[in-house]
Structure 1
Amino acid sequence: MRNFFLSRLTSTLAAGAALVVAAGFFSPVAQANNVIVLNSGEATLSLVDEATRQVVGTIPTGKEPHHLMVTPDNSSLIVANSVSNNLMFVDPKTGKVQRWVEGIEDPYQIGFSPDHKWMVTTGLRLDRLDIYHYDGHNLALASRLPLGVMPSHMAFTTDSKTVFVTLQVSGELAAIDLNTQQVKWKMKVGKVPAGLWMTPGEKYLLVGMTGADYVAVVDWKNQKIVKTIPTGKGAHNFRSLVDGRHVAVSNRVASTISIIDEDTLTNVGDITGLMPGPDDMELSADRRYLWVTFRFAKHIGIIDLSTRKLIQTIAVGRSPHGIYFFDRAPVTAPNGA
């Protein structure tokens, strides 16, 4: 397929900064280390000072920013604006706009292959998977694969040969060969599969079942479900707790977070007393606090992991979704961003 280079910038850094200041959104306090929160329902991102836990700035984005991903060199944080069909690159520390890339159609979820050769986007609205070649700065469209209704989250193998994608409406897990850029196989996994997590050693894929109340454990090499782990209704997305053993899963309907032991593949405890719709999560660098977005409450929350209690909430914008720390705790297993 002929490559289409899509690295045209719609604004320079200076122009982008001028737009933000003119709109009255940007705050001088945004020079500090900030937690970046995407408000998908109102096309903004909130800057939250991690130390004071106060919102210190709000910056306009494109329409429906859902997910974000840091570039492999950590120089930029990419905000994927799914309805505006563009990417917004911001400083991962301050949230200041660096550049825009237009013509990236329906980038709902984005991810880089571990070898940094490919950037993959799932088109939740357009029912397809787009694969771009990435040279460290520019993106070139390599393949566009019709995949089924509402492709959602993804996970890569560490050898960068395969990307897995959940298909929400058909209840399937798809495996795509990144070398041939063709679908290798699909398998049924359950109702409304969403988040994916690869267990240590790449033995199993964990799949959050948003239409049910469990996580499916998939032996992806043999394409079969070997176990289900009861959680709460609406099991959705994952975040490693960076202790070599546990991963958190948000239960969006039950408004709880379950802690899964990756060795025993069991639920070892639920965090309750949360606001409605817990979704994406981030871990503080000291591993003491788990920050979570509440999609249905216009708030984010901070959980003390020593007590597993919600200790603070912070008002942000409508439908907060993606969240990112500049100094976040490293993810030791693949595809935890």
Structure 2
Amino acid sequence: MGHGAERLRMRSRRLRAALLLVLTGAAACGAGPVPATPAGAQELLYVASQEDVTVAVIDMSTRQLVETVDLKELGFSPTAKAHHVAVEPDGSFWYVSLIADGKVLKFDRENRLVGQADFETPGMLGLDPTSDRLYVGRSMAAVNPPQRIGVIDRRSMSIEEIDVFFPRPHALAVDARGSRFFAASLGQNSMAWAPIGDEDVDLLQLEGAMNHVLVQFAISPDGRWMVGGGQMTGSLLVFDLSADGPTVVRSIDVGGQPWHPSWSVDGRTVWVPNQAANTVTATIPPPAPSAVRAPSWRSTRRATRSWASSKSGATRQGWRRPQRRPRVERPERSGAEGQRTACRHASSRRVCRLRGGVFG
């Protein structure tokens, strides 16, 4: 079944902007630090393709395709929509949500199907590395799903549901350090959180005359901060998680429909793909300026996938990497709050902007 040293050669038409990437040895959805991958184990990347209903398994050390798991060959429908992947900290099992088939599947390290759970229009997955729980949100494609999220026991794949009391729960994150989970609504400015294992959630009403449409959260490696992209407002909301409940401390205007943010391993930078603008924004904690609009990659699709391809260094399905990586010339950083400074893209002279500090 393996393809060995075969290079990635898949066409762009096969991919959707919902491709989400998860590394073996790291829990999905910004769960924070987890136990290290065992010595000698492969560092693998799992890429779900909604249109193809496949999951590509990529060796991160060689940047080569190891195997393509075709879920259609396992009896799932051609329109199942494989959406999000979560991986056990030690890489022993991985999970994928199938939106249209209403399933969350469990695979072992050898990519054999070993379990499944039924859940209406599953979307984002949040794995808690400190317990056997896997949290499941609802897909953006679901217009009026139940106002509940799922909690799967990863050993038995049995599932329970938790009421969140708002429509279209989509954004989802698990804070392993704080032993909490977070969910947010696409339909209104509401989010919920509770201790892991608790079925009684607390609710937070987010300010704003317009619905943010929070697509996804990401928690910093130290567990102190959480960010969420507001598709409709173009804002990246910054939450302080140091107290019992989340508190919004900053709203950063990044524009272009921010979707799924990602933290760097050292927690110094948040990368935000701007779906509508085909750009990537980097937010930098103070005293450095906080937002750098990165030049867009040459992509036939959206920035979410452009960033994914550049992050791993592999040319993924349908992405075109430039012949030479563009160089961005940045001015000296004064660190002044709210300062806006032009920077020049060395080849295209594209103007980007630097803004003041991220966190309060």
Shorter-chain TM-score range? 0.5 to 0.7
Q: Aligned pair 1:272/2:283, yes or no?
A: no
Identity level (%): 15
Q: 1:66 aligns with which of 83, 86, 110?
A: 83
Q: In the alignment, which residue of structure 2 is the partner of 1:41?
A: 51
Change (3 A) 1:146 1:155: closer
Is the contact made by 1:187 and 1:223 (CA closer than 8 Å) also made in structure 2?
A: no
Cα distance, 1:248 vs structure 2: 1.1
Is the contact made by 1:88 and 1:97 (CA closer than 8 Å) also made in structure 2?
A: no
Cα distance, 1:110 vs structure 2: 1.2
Q: Aligned pair 1:130/2:150, yes or no?
A: yes
Gap runs ≥5 in structure 1:
1-26, 310-337
Q: Aligned pair 1:239/2:262, yes or no?
A: yes
1:1-337 to 2 correspondences below 5 Å:
27-29=1-3, 35-47=45-57, 51=62, 57=68, 59-61=70-72, 62=76, 63-90=80-107, 96-124=111-139, 125=142, 126-127=145-146, 128-134=148-154, 137-159=155-177, 161-188=179-206, 190-199=211-220, 201-220=222-241, 221=243, 224-263=247-286, 266-275=290-299, 276-279=301-304, 289=312, 299-300=318-319
Cα distance, 1:193 vs structure 2: 0.7
2:149 is aligned with what amino acid? Answer: L
Change (3 A) 1:117 1:307: same
Distance 2:218 2:125 in 1: 15
Give the match's secondary structure for 2:3: helix
1:172 is aligned with what amino acid? Answer: S
CA deviation map 1:62-88 (0-9, x unaligned): 411110000243112211112212233
1:267 is aligned with what amino acid? Answer: A
Is the contact made by 1:233 and 1:253 (CA closer than 8 Å) also made in structure 2?
A: yes
Count how many residue pairs are aligned between Structure 1 and Structure 2: 273
Q: TM-score, normalised by structure 1?
A: 0.67
Cα distance, 1:236 vs structure 2: 0.6
Q: TM-score, normalised by structure 2?
A: 0.63
CA deviation map 1:115-162 (0-9, x unaligned): 12321111233242112334xx22333443254222112122234532
Distance 1:303 1:162 in 2: 41
Distance 2:233 2:52 in 1: 28
Shifted more, 80-89 versus 252-261: the winner is 80-89
Is the contact made by 2:192 and 2:204 (CA closer than 8 Å) also made in structure 1?
A: yes
RMSD after superposition: 3.6
1:277 is aligned with what amino acid? Answer: R
1:81 is aligned with what amino acid? Answer: L
1:252 is aligned with what amino acid? Answer: Q
Distance 1:101 1:30 in 2: 28
Change (3 A) 1:187 1:306: farther
Is the contact made by 1:172 and 1:193 (CA closer than 8 Å) also made in structure 2?
A: no
Query: Which is greater in Rg?
Result: 2
Gap runs ≥5 in structure 2:
7-41, 329-360
Cα distance, 1:300 vs structure 2: 4.1
Change (3 A) 1:282 1:88: farther
Change (3 A) 1:226 1:49: closer
Give the match's secondary structure for 1:299: coil
Q: In the alignment, which residue of structure 1 is the partner of 2:358?
A: none
Change (3 A) 1:161 1:52: closer
Give the match's secondary structure for 1:80: strand
Cα distance, 1:261 vs structure 2: 1.4
Change (3 A) 1:308 1:202: farther
Cα distance, 1:211 vs structure 2: 1.5
Distance 2:93 2:281 in 1: 31
Is the contact made by 1:255 and 1:272 (CA closer than 8 Å) also made in structure 2?
A: yes
